[in-house]
Structure 1
Amino acid sequence: MTTVVELEIPADRLGLARTFDRVSTFEFQVGGMIGGSPPLVWAGGQDRATVQTALESDPSVELIASVANDDAGTTTDDGVGAIPSDRWLYRLEFGDGVKLFEEIVTENDGAILTAQGRENRWMLKLLFHDRESVSACHELLEQYEFTVNVTRISGVDDLATARTPLTETQYKTICKAHELGYFDVPRGVTLKELAAELDISHQALSERLRRSHAALVSAELSDRTAPMEIDP
């Protein structure tokens, strides 16, 4: 059964520990985790200058670009949406800790749904095909001393208690896409093939996936955890 795992990992094992040390109020949310190009990362803290200086001097990341400006309500070209006045958007290249973590998760048929951090730790939500993959992944994470603290495990049938911002339709679509390898590199199934499997149009599936991704990022940024009652 498709399984969602929520866990915590210390920042000194994954990255950004130096930034947490220098900015006591530092928080972040990764959008579009992970693989391929460096991801966009929302960051908050004491003030933008302090946060950016800390990121630039943190050996666990490389600051590729500052994406957003200081104007509240601005919309980015990436379609992320309105920029909160106390959050700033950067494109970061993460170091070896995150890359090894990604490799362990993907090699065990897992996918990273969301990643955020506060108080010197990362909180991640992972999706796996089955419980056996969860166990195998956890064993490797322990072997490589990631100091994992699993906070929640839920199945696709536990939608009401899974603390997901997705509707039931969106959630099952994401699970099916993951099951068939749509998020793999290279992809195990095309968008057209996935649409046929779900018996919906290519355009409808594309829009549903985009809304699902937007819902995951928006919910983590605003701490919305209750499922939406209807599909947008």
Structure 2
Amino acid sequence: MATIAEIRVPTEGFALSHTLDALDEVNFEIERIVAHDPDHVMPYVWATGADPETLRETLEEDPSVSDVEIIAEPDEESLYRMNWIDSTEALVHILTEEDGTVLAAEGRQDGWFLRILFPDRDALSRTYEFCEDEDLSMDVQRIYNIDQGKQGRFGLTDEQEETIASAYEHGYYDVPRDVSLSDFAEELDISHQALSERLRRGHKTLVENTVIVGRDGEK
């Protein structure tokens, strides 16, 4: 059965450790990642929190990456394409040996935090054993079974998922709103208070399981 795991990997021993160590405020978020062969991983990476020129120079000095190329620079963030050529053993194993998929990944000074879809629980176990054998640190923080549906993917109950989707369809999140909370509650035949609490719990859960990845004290 497909399994989703939230994993923390220390910055040391993982790609971009030099850059994360050199620049206190930089934050990386993987947009897309591909493993071309056992020695190279090519991610598309969003970077925020650092001066673009300083970041570019630091990336050029980072021994774990090569062929760094800026794809886009909207607002205060930059999208890079690069090759990870060092400290990628665990990631390559997940992508090429276990058919894993990286659903989300964020790199900060306190570590890399990844949400990974494994085809089954055994694949996760083999990955953990691989890291132990190779003396690689990997902390499995949370595990979900995919048969939990949206709850497994985002922590939502079916009721919360249906309510948020319906709110979107009714224009509740538009600016200005197409429907008020009271009218939306009447449409669903529940009380104003019950709807408000359901939406707040659902929104909190969505933030915890999509935006907040591995941030201690937030859950």
Query: Hey, what's the Cα distance between the residues in 1 that align with 2:45 and 2:109?
Result: 17
Structure 1 residues 161 and 146: alpha-carbon distance in aligned structure 2, compared to 1, 3 A threshold: farther
Deviation at 1:56, TM superposition (A): 1.2
1:39 pairs with one of 40, 43, 54: 43
Structure 1 residues 160 and 111: alpha-carbon distance in aligned structure 2, compared to 1, 3 A threshold: closer
Match of 2:23 in 1: 23
Match of 1:130 in 2: 120
Structure 1 residues 135 and 57: alpha-carbon distance in aligned structure 2, compared to 1, 3 A threshold: same
SS of the residue 1:33 aligns to:
strand
Q: What are the Cα deviations for residues 45-97 of structure 1, in whole angstroms up to 9, with x where unaligned?
A: 2311221111111111114311124xxxxxxxxxxxxx3x2211111110232
Structure 2 counterparts to residues 26-105 of structure 1, below 5 A: 26-36=26-36, 38-69=42-73, 83=74, 85-98=75-88, 100-105=89-94
RMSD: 2.8
Match of 1:223 in 2: 211
- 1:104 is aligned with what amino acid? H
Match of 1:153 in 2: 143
Q: What are the Cα deviations for residues 125-161 of structure 1, in whole angstroms up to 9, with x where unaligned?
A: 1111211221111100121122111111001123444
- Using structure 2 for the length normalisation, give the TM-score: 0.64
User: Do 1:104 and 1:141's aligned partners in 2 also have CA atoms closer than 8 Å?
Assistant: no
- 1:92 is aligned with what amino acid? M
Match of 2:203 in 1: none
- Using structure 1 for the length normalisation, give the TM-score: 0.60
Q: Which has a greater percent of strand?
A: 2
User: Do 2:63 and 2:86's aligned partners in 1 also have CA atoms closer than 8 Å?
Assistant: no
- 2:24 is aligned with what amino acid? S
User: Do 1:33 and 1:115's aligned partners in 2 also have CA atoms closer than 8 Å?
Assistant: no
- 2:134 is aligned with what amino acid? Y
Deviation at 1:38, TM superposition (A): 2.6
SS of the residue 2:137 aligns to:
coil
User: Do 1:113 and 1:124's aligned partners in 2 also have CA atoms closer than 8 Å?
Assistant: yes
Structure 1 residues 11 and 224: alpha-carbon distance in aligned structure 2, compared to 1, 3 A threshold: closer
**Aligned pairs, how many?**
159
Runs of 4+ aligned structure 1 residues displaced above 3 Å come to 159-166
Structure 1 residues 162 and 138: alpha-carbon distance in aligned structure 2, compared to 1, 3 A threshold: same
Structure 1 gaps, min length 5: 70-82, 169-218, 226-232
User: Do 2:3 and 2:117's aligned partners in 1 also have CA atoms closer than 8 Å?
Assistant: yes
Query: Hey, what's the Cα distance between the residues in 2 that align with 1:2 and 1:93?
Result: 29
Deviation at 1:112, TM superposition (A): 2.3
User: Do 1:33 and 1:114's aligned partners in 2 also have CA atoms closer than 8 Å?
Assistant: no
Query: Hey, what's the Cα distance between the residues in 1 that align with 2:76 and 2:6?
Result: 26
- 1:53 is aligned with what amino acid? E
Query: Hey, what's the Cα distance between the residues in 1 that align with 2:92 and 2:138?
Result: 16
Query: Hey, what's the Cα distance between the residues in 2 that align with 1:141 and 1:122?
Result: 15
Query: Hey, what's the Cα distance between the residues in 2 that align with 1:126 and 1:11?
Result: 17
SS of the residue 2:25 aligns to:
coil
User: Do 2:65 and 2:86's aligned partners in 1 also have CA atoms closer than 8 Å?
Assistant: no
Query: Hey, what's the Cα distance between the residues in 2 that align with 1:50 and 1:112?
Result: 28
Structure 1 residues 65 and 87: alpha-carbon distance in aligned structure 2, compared to 1, 3 A threshold: same
Q: Identity of aligned pairs, percent? A: 32
Structure 2 gaps, min length 5: 159-206, 214-219
